[in-house]
Amino acid sequence: MQTIGFLAKKFISLFLYPLGISLVLLFAGIIMQGRHGRARRGLLLVLIAAVWLLLLSLPLTAYLLMHALETEAGPYADPRILQQEGVRYIVVLSASWVTGDLSPADRQGNTIFRVLEGVRLWKNLPESKLVLSGGSMPGRASQAEAMIAFPVELGVPREALVVDTGAWDTEDEARIFGKIVGKQPFGLVTSAWHMPRAIRFFQSRGLNPVACPCEFRTNVPPVWYSWFWPSADSLLMSTQAIHEYIGRVWQSLKLGFKRLTAHAQAIETSTVS
């Protein structure tokens, strides 16, 4: 059931992204144009699809969407402050990775930014542990196993690594890592645009994460003359930002439902007593 639910969530989200919405509107518009009396409505849908895709392909739009998330994440973490707060675990959340006959660095995919930041913080925190995560899909090696070789190659001893392969997503990571880090403060490393949602997942379980963002996309804004020139990179950035906004809405609904359920159970228990 977990596999089905995970894959269903990923499949449905494809139609909520900019390209997915545009394709749905485009095909609907083309079909409507072929029907008598609905040609104008079909043309309108096609125009909306084109304008929507154009707007989200602009560097200005992508920058504004992403910058709000990264600003909320805060700056890079200072190891001295982490040490003062008693941080002994650096938890690195997983991202994408690549399998095959590749070097340890190339196998990291987008995760390489997070692993490098985790190693940087670990090296400046004596006797700390570097925690790596990653779930495994059927027929594929787990993400965490693919992540081990690179930090070891960078000088992190194997005994300083804590590896978990049971997490499928950030919500799972929050559930699993609570058993490792307990209630003590720990450094949480993930991409800056993903940090606000990740922090909320961990805090909802009573944990004490300290934000350690990396992979900032908007620290340096695009040059002014390119702000209104559409690009594939900008569309990708807009898609990543929208993914986070959708995820935050879904997260709020789930956490709100859990609070309501817990409150109802507490009322029922007190009534029975």
Give the start-to-end residue ranges of the domains of the chain: 2-69+233-272, 76-214
Written as one letter, the residue type at 150 is F
Pairwise CA distance, residues 40 & 48, whole Å: 12
In contact, 144 and 133? CB cutoff 8 Å: yes
Burial category of 266 from C-beta neighbours within 10 Å (exposed 0-12, middle 13-18, buried 19 and up): exposed
% of the chain with per-residue pLDDT over 90 = 47
More confident residue, 120 or 97: 120
Beta-carbon count within 10 A of 77 CB: 22
Mean pLDDT confidence for 218-243: 91
| Tens-digit pLDDT profile for residues 253-270 | 988 888 888 777 777 776
Q: What was the pLDDT predicted at 24?
A: 85
Predicted local distance difference test score (pLDDT) of residue 34: 72
Averaged pLDDT score across all residues of the chain: 84
Per-residue confidence (pLDDT) for residue 10, from 0 to 100: 57
For the record, the structure tokens of 214 come out as 């990396």
Q: Which residues contact 72 (CB under 8 A, 6 or more apart)?
A: 195, 196
Contacts 24+ apart (CB under 8 A), 172-179: 172/135, 173/91, 173/93, 173/94, 173/133, 173/201, 174/198, 174/201, 174/202, 174/204, 174/205, 174/207, 175/205, 176/133, 177/91, 177/131, 177/133, 177/202, 177/207, 178/202, 178/205, 178/206, 178/207
CB 223 within 8 A of CB 60: no
Reading the block at residue 258, the tokens are: 């859990």
Q: Which residue has the higher pLDDT, 219 or 140?
A: 219
Angle, CA 218 vertex, CA 215 and CA 221 arms, to 5° = 145
pLDDT above 70 (res 143): no
Whole-number pLDDT of residue 194: 94
Is the distance from CB of 238 to CB of 61 less than 8 angstroms?
A: yes
d(CA 214, CA 53): 28
Per-residue confidence (pLDDT) for residue 176, from 0 to 100: 87
Torsion angle in degrees (nearest 10) through CA of 100, 106, 109, 110:
170
181 vs 146, more confident: 181
DSSP 192: G
Cα-based angle 131, 134, 136 (whole degrees, multiple of 5): 150
Q: What is the pLDDT of residues 37-95, one digit of tens each?
A: 677 888 888 899 999 999 999 999 999 999 999 999 999 999 999 999 999 999 999 87
- DSSP letter for 225, please: G
Residue 172 banded pLDDT, cuts 50, 70, 90 = confident
Residue 12 has a pLDDT of 65
The string of pLDDT tens digits covering residues 174-184 is 888 888 898 99
Nearest-angstrom CA–CA distance, 94 and 115: 9
Q: What is the CATH number of domain 76-214?
A: 3.40.50.620
| pTM of the shown model | 0.84
Instruction: Output the pLDDT for position 98.
Output: 64
